Chains A and B, each alone.
Chain A
Amino acid sequence: GAGVSQSPSNKVTEKGKDVELRCDPISGHTALYWYRQRLGQGLEFLIYFQGNSAPDKSGLPSDRFSAERTGESVSTLTIQRTQQEDSAVYLCASSFGTLTGELFFGEGSRLTVL
């Protein structure tokens, strides 16, 4: 595809359940980022991948959050034992290297925890 693709676009789950959010970056983009945006808030950095390694995972809020990336391709963000405060839009972005600082964003996955 031409852009960053995220799935699902919407996810409603019950408190305590695990969820997986998927991101397909633009082909050839080596860097991949996950951000969280709560209602009325800015973008909160979660984790950044260069290839399949994560040099910076400082933004993961708790050990319930984890992410992995396969090569320079798909990434999955997993939230275990979801809580209501996890409700947010989860945005994925990719970039071709890191020189320009230009991130290409997906449309986001909206997570609602009941």
Chain B
Amino acid sequence: AQRVTQPEKLLSVFKGAPVELKCNYSYSGSPELFWYVQYSRQRLQLLLRHISRESIKGFTADLNKGETSFHLKKPFAQEEDSAMYYCALRNWGGSEKLVFGKGTKLTVNP
């Protein structure tokens, strides 16, 4: 069964500090990983996906199959990064069901 674990419910950092939101997954097949973000009073939206290997709003995430992790990182956090972040997984080329973690609330303090 697919499972996504985000161990931190809350994460608080100061502006300019590095930030890392952890995501671990459990899946026997070939996974496809995503990060979704929900800013205050906005809809849940895609932030980035591992196959794109892109940096969005300064965030990057690398899929580590050995550690079954897909941590989200940003070297210098900004106040506007404060939001709920959800890690999600689906079966590569298979079922389209996207399985989400419980989310991490990031607060960037001034």
Contact = CB atoms under 8 A, between A and B. Distances in A.
Given A91-B44, A106-B43, A107-B43, A50 B96 contact: yes
B96 A98 contact: yes
B43 to A, nearest CB: 5
Interface in A33-75: 33, 35, 41-43, 45, 48, 50, 55-56, 58-59
B32 interface: yes
A48 B44 CA distance: 17
A101 B34 contact: yes
B100 A33 contact: no
B86 interface: yes
Interface residues of A, number: 26
A42 B86 contact: yes
A103 interface: yes
19 contacts: A31-B96, A41-B102, A42-B103, A43-B100, A45-B97, A55-B95, A55-B96, A56-B96, A58-B97, A59-B97, A91-B44, A100-B49, A101-B34, A101-B90, A101-B98, A105-B43, A105-B44, A105-B45, A107-B43
8 closest A-B pairs by CB? A42-B102, A43-B100, A105-B44, A98-B96, A102-B46, A105-B43, A42-B100, A56-B97
Interface of B: 4, 6, 32, 34, 36, 43-46, 49, 86, 90, 95-103
